[in-house]
Amino acid sequence: MTRYDARLKPDNRSINLSGGEKPMRSILPLAVAALVTASAVPALAEEPGTGATLIHLAYSIDTFYFLMSGALVMWMAAGFAMLEAGLVRSRNTVEILTKNIALYSVACIMYMFVGYNIMYGGGPNGFLPGFGFLLGPDNGVGDVLGSAGEIYYSTIADFFFQVVFVATAMSIVSGAVAERMKLWSFLAFAVVMTGFIYPVEGYWKWGGGFLDSLGFLDFAGSGVVHLCGASAALAGVLLLGARKGKYAGGRVHAIPGANLPLATLGTFILWLGWFGFNGGSELKISNIEEANAVAMVFVNTNMAAAGGLVAALLLARAWFGKADLTMALNGALAGLVAITAEPLTPTPLVATVVGAIGGLLVVLSIVFIDKARVDDPVGAISVHGVVGIWGLIAVAFTNPEGSLLAQLTGIGVIFAWVFGASIVVWAVIKAVMGIRVSEEEELAGVDIAECGLEAYPEFTTNK
Amino acid sequence: MKKIESIIKPFKLDDLKSALHDLGVQGMTVVEVKGFGRQKGHTEIYRGAEYVVDFIPKIKVETVVADDLVDQVVETIMNTVRTGKIEDGKIFVLPVEKVCRIRTGETDNDAL
């Protein structure tokens, strides 16, 4: 069952608890004892089969934790949808919503069909992933009881938890290419990204591939998920070009978002979902050490977001003279991305600082990328790419087991693979079906051009 | 009869409505509008890039009054909505040829 432990091994935490000689048997009763009343414990302990019952219970708790964490991460898709809908112009609202909910669905299907097997199927070597279709059966009761704690949660729950991550990576792309990319070209890219590009680099790290062996650390995916999404987005934006008028006359023009309440709601939703994203990536909660670790991950995740928001808000106020809400929102997300690579080992104060540095970086990066004429309407490349890199580098300083060289290698490999593969795929799609809507369609808004709908229809009559 | 169109700051609407009501003005129509005058809006920064808010939100209040009330109404509007700062707005007075009350068919001053 190394397949399902791959995400545990690299960071070398949970495995210490579950990887020894039958450790689960001795640890599980402790965890479950906390759940029952003190008086019930002696009675329970004398019943025959108590050990098996406790394994049943621990398996249920860990599986339940996985499923609920996955559900929280699923909700992040709503966060991205609201954030992006808020930061585009109103005439492009329906289309960005369509992209967001459709990409989520495409990601789920592709990852079930082939992606999960590529990522976690084990491969001939650390570079080449395996290949297979659909999902296998779940664990049998006898297998779990006889595994000495090696198998401790449902493999189907594991699939569910992983599939929402690939959707997150793809969500990052939609914001960067918003307001000008063809809907169906985007979804065609989503098929390749979620079925192939993401799972391959995922295999290299969480599937037990060569990045894992190198000692590259990425707790919940600053690199595997966020840098990956941003790299694909950057490739797409470079081939796509800027929105009409964004850099007209050689100057950088602001294109204010249509609905900042939606963008703020989206950020709150992402913030909430991130507790599943990082908290769930601890992969286990059914004993005291693991429960404490999950608590620490929650607190650090929250602190980093808060640090990122405050830092970005202060920098925007100092630099631009006013409190730019959209920068503050990006700052919170930057804090979250930054801590995602290592939310367990830092103290809450250090986590706040890691997030705050992310918040400062994201403001600088958004302005710099804009000046470089790379049009990213929601700041996705800065939030997930630039700050994702920062988060991975920070691991070398916040985790005693981190190695700067391994982190930099991981960053280089993930960026090179995802950017390179993506730019080829985008180029093929561009040649075959085009990736950009016509100028007239862009000026009229892609809502009508691509979806035949308006977000807020007025003055319509029956035909 | 004259139509008096006042472009005012939105937060002055309630005060103006009361003041005109006290004068005996029977009705008015209000439109949310955007526009600019001599100072041409203001400059803001969004995500590090400057942009100009040319068209400032305003309220246009339209009311039609009998000729003998015109000067008094214009004076009241000015006194009510004036803050002394830029963007206080403008008042336009236009001649009106005919007025009809749809329900009764009354015309002109009877219809006001």
Render pLDDT for A209-267 as a digit per residue (tens, 0 to 9): 999 999 999 999 999 999 999 999 999 999 999 999 999 998 999 999 999 999 999 99
Rounded to the nearest angstrom, the minimum Cα separation between A361 and chain B is 14
% residues pLDDT > 90 (chain A): 81
> How many independent structural domains does chain A possess?
1
pLDDT band with cut points at 50, 70 and 90 for residue A67: very high
For residue A434, give the nearest of A71, A105, A70, A188 by alpha carbon. A188
Please give the residue of chain A at the shortest CA–CA distance from B46: A254
**Residue A460 is assigned to a structural domain of this protein:** no
* Residue A43 pLDDT: 47
Bridge-based pairing of strands B90-95 and B29-35 is unpaired
Query: Minimum mean pLDDT among A34-48, A314-328, A365-379: which range?
Result: A34-48
Average pLDDT of span B80-87: 92
Mutate to test the interface with A, among B42, B47, B50 (most CBs of A within 10 A): B47
Rounded to the nearest angstrom, the minimum Cα separation between B45 and chain A is 7
For residues A22 and A15, the answer to whether their CB atoms sit within 8 Å is no
Are B47 and A254 a contacting pair at CB < 8 A?
yes
Residues of B in contact with A256 (CB under 8 A): 46, 51
Nearest by CB to residue A321, choosing from B45, B46, B51, is: B45
| B48/A contact by beta carbon, under 8 A | yes
pTM: 0.86
Residue A216 to residue A403: CA distance in whole angstroms: 7
Tell me the C-alpha to C-alpha distance, in Å, between residue B74 and each of B6, B67, B71. Answer: 9, 12, 5
Which residue numbers of A have CB closer than 8 Å to B's CBs? 252-256, 319-322, 324, 326-327, 363, 366-367, 370, 379
Which residues contact residue B14 at a Cβ distance below 8 angstroms, ignoring those fewer than 6 apart?
none
Nearest by CB to residue B49, choosing from A321, A370, A379, is: A370
Tokens 């920070």, located at residue: A394
Residues of B in contact with A370 (CB under 8 A): 47-49
Residues of A in contact with B48 (CB under 8 A): 252, 319-320, 363, 366-367, 370
> How many independent structural domains does chain B possess?
1
Are B51 and A321 a contacting pair at CB < 8 A?
no
3-class SS of residue B7: strand
Average pLDDT of span A56-61: 94
Phi-psi region of A373 (alpha: psi -120 to 50; beta: other; left: phi over 0): left
Average pLDDT of span A367-378: 96
Q: How does pLDDT run across B47-60, given as a tens digit for each residue? A: 999 998 889 999 99
Residue A292 to residue A295: CA distance in whole angstroms: 5
Residues of A in contact with B45 (CB under 8 A): 254, 320-322, 324
Please report the beta strands in A291-388, taking only residues with DSSP state E, as ranges in sequence order. Answer: none
Residues of A in contact with B44 (CB under 8 A): 254, 322
Q: Would the pLDDT of A463 be above 90?
A: no
Nearest by CB to residue A326, choosing from B44, B47, B50, is: B47
* Residue A35 pLDDT: 44
Query: Minimum mean pLDDT among A42-46, A432-436, B100-104: which range?
Result: A42-46
* Residue A271 pLDDT: 98
Q: How does pLDDT run across A16-38, given as a tens digit for each residue? A: 333 333 333 333 334 444 444 44
Largest distance between two CA atoms of chain A: 82
Residue A175 to residue A457: CA distance in whole angstroms: 23
Residue A183 to residue A94: CA distance in whole angstroms: 11
For residues A117 and A202, the answer to whether their CB atoms sit within 8 Å is no
**Residue A56 is assigned to a structural domain of this protein:** yes
Tell me which residue range forms the domain holding B31.
2-111
Average pLDDT of span A454-459: 86
Nearest by CB to residue B49, choosing from A252, A321, A379, is: A252
Rounded to the nearest angstrom, the minimum Cα separation between B90 and chain A is 29
Please give the residue of chain A at the shortest CA–CA distance from B52: A254
Q: Would the pLDDT of A6 be above 70?
A: no
* Residue A7 pLDDT: 52
pLDDT band with cut points at 50, 70 and 90 for residue A41: very low
Average pLDDT of span A444-448: 94
* DSSP state letter for A250: G
The amino acid present at A76, given as its one-letter code, is: M
Rounded to the nearest angstrom, the minimum Cα separation between B64 and chain A is 28
pLDDT band with cut points at 50, 70 and 90 for residue A423: very high
pLDDT band with cut points at 50, 70 and 90 for residue A457: confident
Nearest by CB to residue B48, choosing from A255, A256, A366, is: A366
The CATH number of residue A325's host domain is 1.10.3430.10
Give the angle subtended at the CA of A443 by the CAs of A437 and A447, to the nearest 5°: 65
For residues A427 and A239, the answer to whether their CB atoms sit within 8 Å is yes
pLDDT band with cut points at 50, 70 and 90 for residue A327: very high
Rounded to the nearest angstrom, the minimum Cα separation between A340 and chain B is 25
**Residue A121 is assigned to a structural domain of this protein:** yes
Mean pLDDT, chain A, rounded, equals 90
**Residue A13 is assigned to a structural domain of this protein:** yes
**Residue A456 is assigned to a structural domain of this protein:** no
ipTM computed for the complex: 0.76
Compute the 3-state secondary structure of chain B and give helix, strand, coil in percent, each to the nearest 5: 30, 40, 35
| B43/A contact by beta carbon, under 8 A | no
Q: Is A48 exposed, middle or buried (0-12, 13-18, 19+ CB in 10 A)?
A: exposed
* Residue A32 pLDDT: 40
Rounded to the nearest angstrom, the minimum Cα separation between A389 and chain B is 21
Largest distance between two CA atoms of chain B: 59
The CATH number of residue B59's host domain is 3.30.70.120
The DSSP string of A52-111 is HHHHHHHHHHHHHHHHHHHHHHHHHHHHHHHHHHHHS-GGGHHHHHHHHHHHHHHHHHHI
| B47/A contact by beta carbon, under 8 A | yes
Structure tokens at A98: 């369509």
Average pLDDT of span A54-75: 96
Residue A376 to residue B4: CA distance in whole angstroms: 47
Average pLDDT of span A46-68: 88
Nearest by CB to residue A322, choosing from B45, B49, B51, is: B45
Average pLDDT of span A189-201: 97
Phi-psi region of A201 (alpha: psi -120 to 50; beta: other; left: phi over 0): alpha
Q: Would the pLDDT of A459 be above 90?
A: no
Q: How does pLDDT run across B3-45, given as a tens digit for each residue? A: 999 999 999 999 999 999 999 998 999 999 999 888 777 889 9
**Residue A42 is assigned to a structural domain of this protein:** no
Query: Minimum mean pLDDT among A117-126, A282-291, A404-413: which range?
Result: A117-126
**Residue A459 is assigned to a structural domain of this protein:** no
* Residue A218 pLDDT: 97
Tell me which residue range forms the domain holding A363.
2-37+47-451
Please report the beta strands in A107-147, taking only residues with DSSP state E, as ranges in sequence order. Answer: none
Residues of A in contact with B49 (CB under 8 A): 252-254, 370
